[in-house]
Amino acid sequence: MIIRQLSVFLENKPGRLCAAIDALAKAGVNISALSLADAAEYGILRLIVDQPDLAKQTLTDAGVIVKAHRVIALAMKDEPGGAETILRLLADAEINIEYMYACVGHVTGKALMVLRVDDAEKADAILKENCCDEINPADIYRL
Amino acid sequence: MPYRDKTAETMPREALRRLQSERLVAQVARCYERVECFRKRMDEKGLTPADIRGVEDLNKLPFSYKKDLRDYYPYGLFAEPLEKVVRVHASSGTTGKRIVVGYTENDISMWAECFARMLTAIGVTEKDVVQVSYGYGLFTGGFGAHAGAEAIGATVIPMSSGNTALQIQTMIDFGATVLCCTPSYAMYLAEEIERAGLKDQLKLKAGVFGAEPWSETMRARIEEGLGIKAYDIYGLSEVLGPGVACECEAQAGMHVWEDHFIPEIIDPDTGEVLPEGATGELVFTSLTKEAFPVIRYRTRDICSLNYEPCACGRTHVRMRKPSGRSDDMLIIRGVNVFPSQIEEVLLKVCGQDVTPNYQIVVDRVNNNDTFDVNVEMSESFFTDDIRSIDRLERLLVERLRSTLGIGAKVHLVNPKSIVRSEGKAKRVIDNRQGKI
């Protein structure tokens, strides 16, 4: 399933991550998943939240740069080889994965993943066609 | 007291003034005939060379500016054809384009003489070994010191800048007795030498340090650290290079070689010449330069002139260390940096109509200048992709280095995080005061 992820630019100073997360908490936004990519001089915080529009507005008002991107959320079997099945499908279709991160999910027996790929529509179609369980948007936005 | 050219250096002021008048009249006539920019300015003021009969008419003459060097880039202000020009040097302009100056054979030897007068004054002779650790290249430092030391017959080690370990090794192995470099580099060398416990292997006795501001405290530390006498030298490419003004053995101000240059102190706002001893902007007229003469060139350096007789017996006026600038130029690690140069790089790299907000932070840590450029990130160049932001950051660093000639650390910061006062961002934060 294609979902919206928010990417936040974080300058390399103590407290920047905390300030962003705090702003979201105060606005009543719940974070479903997050990943932090770090370069030497800055970081990018990637977030899946239950209310993307409110979150984007809140962060923009707090003076940080936020952009929304389309990423894929999927549930895979929480067992050995579960990830391999999915990754093989994408590799065979020559879809490039830019990054991925896992969510700690509450869906029994499933591992939830967020993937950024170069062609989200194509990847989504392939995953839907092949074996992947459709996930309930409510599961991903409010894990 | 040793003099290089006793007649010139101790000339009574009356005679010096007559010599200046004679040379000024000739230089003005020459520039009027050969340099379009100067002629136009004279014409605008309704002046002809005949109106200039001596030093007393100096203040009638139009000023010249750094901007002229950009407008007439590269050779438009030369007063000699290129076949007479044997060398060019260049330094930072106010934009990405560098400014170019030229020298005839006579200019080069006059420059060497100016530097040589100083070396002689501070007791350097043909028996000395002079290590020149100023950069050699378009920068005037290396070649200027080199020529001066050669002129007095000293043995020159043309080290150029950089590679500290090799600098120290050479200094010891080759028995250098005199060091020429920037004062901050001298401090750095002193510390490294101390750390390595090599001070007792040095033969150094004197150092000639210039091209950036330094204080008496720093002088004391260099003298202690290297076990030498440290002397100050002043110059700028537009006027000559290092050697326009130099300290003598008295270490009490830098003698401006007035047989070649006339200094004036003006009010930077009104252009009025200020009374003797007042502090203001330093202006130079070069009397004997052939390829690239300047008439009333605005240095933007703020200082004062001292006409009192010097203990050394030289009659030439002494200038105090410049205490600041009347423009926004920064001197970072001896290199001239204008905020406008940085702005230009940002504009080009970020490819937008509006320059991103930026701030330059200069500080001094362990006697070295640090140079940081904070750039506000904006929506338009933020992507979700580390690689493309890294590419932007690297490109900024590279372009800044190639434009300025020195490295800056670039930090991408949050939008609107750079402090604005009355809507205008404060572009430069210089925390070096009191540390140099």
Which residues are B241's β-sheet partners? B236
Same-domain pairing of A84 and A50: no
B419 at the A interface (CB within 8 A)? no
Compute the mean pLDDT over every residue in chain B, rounded to the nearest whole number.
92
Distance from CA of B410 to the nearest CA of A (A): 8
Same-domain pairing of A131 and A98: yes
Question: Which CATH class for the B6-327 domain?
Answer: alpha beta
| CA B280, chain centre distance (Å) | 18
pLDDT at A141 > cutoff 70: no
CB distance B384–A42 less than 8 Å? Answer: no
Interatomic CA distance for residues B135 and B121, integer angstroms? 24
CA distance readout (Å), B218 to B186, B190, B281 = 10, 11, 24
What pLDDT does residue B423 have? 55
Task: Please name the residue of chain A whose CA is at the shortest distance from the CA of residue B379.
Answer: A65
Residue pair B415/B378 in contact (Cβ under 8 Å)? The answer is yes
| Least trusted range by pLDDT, from A80-84, B30-34, B132-136, B223-227 | A80-84
Q: Which of A67, A96, A124 is the last residue of a domain?
A: A67
Structure tokens at B77: 């202000």
Distance from CA of A108 to the nearest CA of B (A): 31
Same-domain pairing of A14 and A38: yes
Nearest to A10 by CA among A73, A67, A70: A67
Interatomic CA distance for residues A90 and A97, integer angstroms? 8
Distance from CA of A103 to the nearest CA of B (A): 19
> In terms of pLDDT, which residue wins out, B134 or B420?
B134
Residues of A in contact with B389 (CB under 8 A): 39, 42, 44
Q: Which amino acid is at B215?
A: S
CB distance A41–B411 less than 8 Å? Answer: yes
| Chain A contact probe: residue of B357, B361, B378, B382 with most A CBs at under 10 A | B382
What pLDDT does residue B426 have? 77
Show Cβ contacts of residue A116 under 8 Å, excluding neighbours closer than 6 positions: A5, A69, A71, A72, A97, A98, A99, A100, B384
Interatomic CA distance for residues B185 and B230, integer angstroms? 13
What range defines the domain where residue A23 resides? 2-67
Q: Which of A46, A67, A88 is the last residue of a domain?
A: A67
Compute the mean pLDDT over every residue in chain A, rounded to the nearest whole number.
85
pLDDT in tens, B97-140: 789 999 999 999 999 999 999 999 999 999 999 999 999 999 99
Same-domain pairing of A110 and A99: yes
Chain B from 20 to 59: CB within 8 A of any A CB? none
pLDDT at A110 > cutoff 90: no
Domain positions in chain B:
6-327, 332-430
Structure tokens at B44: 């605008």
Average pLDDT over residues B45-62: 97
Give the rounded percent of residues in chain B with a pLDDT score beyond 90.
72
What pLDDT does residue B250 have? 96
pLDDT at B293 > cutoff 60: yes
Give the count of domains, chain A.
2
Q: Which amino acid is at A139?
A: D
Read off the CATH number of the domain in which A109 is found.
Answer: 3.30.2130.10
CB distance B410–A12 less than 8 Å? Answer: no
Q: Which of A25, A40, A67 is the last residue of a domain?
A: A67
What pLDDT does residue A79 have? 83
Residues of B in contact with A7 (CB under 8 A): 382, 384
Distance from CA of A63 to the nearest CA of B (A): 6
Task: Please name the residue of chain A whose CA is at the shortest distance from the CA of residue B387.
Answer: A39
Average pLDDT over residues A45-70: 91
Give the closest of A39, A63, A69 to B384, CB-based: A69
What pLDDT does residue B35 have? 98
Average pLDDT over residues A122-130: 86
Same-domain pairing of A94 and A63: no
Same-domain pairing of A56 and A98: no
What pLDDT does residue B217 have? 82
What pLDDT does residue A134 have? 61
Same-domain pairing of A54 and A78: no
Which residues are B302's β-sheet partners? B281, B324
Residues of B in contact with A17 (CB under 8 A): none
Structure tokens at B140: 């005037």
B414 at the A interface (CB within 8 A)? yes
Interatomic CA distance for residues B137 and B153, integer angstroms? 22
Show Cβ contacts of residue B237 under 8 Å, excluding neighbours closer than 6 positions: B89, B90, B91, B99, B101, B140
Same-domain pairing of A81 and A118: yes
pTM equals 0.76
| pLDDT level of residue A109 (50, 70, 90 thresholds) | confident
Burial letters for B72-91: b for 16+ Cβ neighbours within 10 Å, e otherwise?
bebbebbbbeeebbeebbbb
pLDDT at B425 > cutoff 70: no
Distance from CA of A97 to the nearest CA of B (A): 12
Give the closest of B411, B412, B414 to A64, CB-based: B414
Nearest to B319 by CA among B267, B220, B247, B214: B247
Average pLDDT over residues A5-24: 90
A/B interface, count of CB pairs below 8 Å: 51
Chain B from 383 to 402: CB within 8 A of any A CB? 383-386, 389-390, 393
What pLDDT does residue B166 have? 96
CATH classification number, B332-430, choose in 3.30.450.20, 3.30.300.30, 3.40.1360.10, 3.30.1360.20: 3.30.300.30
Task: Please name the residue of chain B whose CA is at the shortest distance from the CA of residue A64.
Answer: B414
What pLDDT does residue B421 have? 61
Residue pair B59/B265 in contact (Cβ under 8 Å)? The answer is no
| pLDDT level of residue B46 (50, 70, 90 thresholds) | very high
**DSSP secondary structure of B137-172:** SSSHHHHHHHHHHHHTTPEEE---S--HHHHHHHHH
What pLDDT does residue B368 have? 84
Chain B from 358 to 387: CB within 8 A of any A CB? 377-379, 382-386
Residue pair B241/B89 in contact (Cβ under 8 Å)? The answer is yes
pLDDT in tens, B254-265: 999 999 999 999
Beta strand spans in B25-161 (E): 85-91, 99-104, 129-132, 155-157
Same-domain pairing of A117 and A90: yes
Distance from CA of A118 to the nearest CA of B (A): 12
B200 at the A interface (CB within 8 A)? no
| Least trusted range by pLDDT, from A38-42, B23-27, B203-207 | A38-42
pLDDT at B353 > cutoff 60: no
- List the strands of the sheet with B409-413, edge to edge: B409-413, B368-376, B358-365, B428-430
